Amino acid sequence: MKRYQITVDGRTFDVQVLGDPLQEQVEVEVDGRRLTVEVKASAARDETVLTTPAPAPAPAATRTPLDAPGAGAASGNRVVAPLPGVIKSIAVRSGQRVAPGDELLVIDAMKMDNVLRASRVGIVETIHIAEGHQIAHGQLLLEYQD
């Protein structure tokens, strides 16, 4: 996931892109608030423009910033791939305790490193991938203990 600090009219926002920025709609988190935005190429210049956000889905009781299904992180005790790519590195091992924000692994996608971080406290139980493995969007990467 990529994080940015964006300043608009003198206000600075912490923005994290949670989905694939090449899709027409992308989930982002702005200062802790989850939004879905439309992404369109600008006709005037060769750049990407984010347009009016669509309503954000209602968060589940246990949802944290990175554990929306398909958004890349944990759904319950499972962590799935937020995008296709190659596992560049794995920062955790089975039995390791993690806290929110701890690096779990890095996915290389389109020559960009995408760091996947823990969204909750837990103990890593099973790692289903290895460095150098090609992965698909939504593929199970690791599981936490119950």
Cα separation, 27 vs 41, whole angstroms: 17
Higher-pLDDT residue of 73 and 61 is 73
**Domain layout of the chain by residue ranges:** 2-50, 74-144
> What confidence tens digit (pLDDT) does each residue in 100-114 have?
999 999 999 888 899
User: DSSP labels for the chain?
Assistant: -EEEEEEETTEEEEEEE-S-TTSSEEEEEETTEEEEEEEEE-SSSSSEEE-PPBPPPPPPTT--TT-STTTSSEETTEEE-SS-EEEEEE---TT-EE-TT-EEEEEEETTEEEEEE-SS-EEEEEE---TT-EE-TT-EEEEE--
User: Does the pLDDT value for residue 99 go beyond 80?
Assistant: yes
Higher-pLDDT residue of 7 and 95 is 95
User: Does the pLDDT value for residue 69 go beyond 50?
Assistant: no
> What confidence tens digit (pLDDT) does each residue in 15-49 have?
888 877 777 777 888 877 888 777 766 555 444 44
Statement: 74-144 belongs to CATH 2.40.50.100? yes
Higher-pLDDT residue of 46 and 68 is 46
> What confidence tens digit (pLDDT) does each residue in 112-140 have?
899 999 988 999 999 999 999 999 999 99
What distance lies between CA 70 and its chain's CA centroid?
9
**What's the pTM?**
0.51
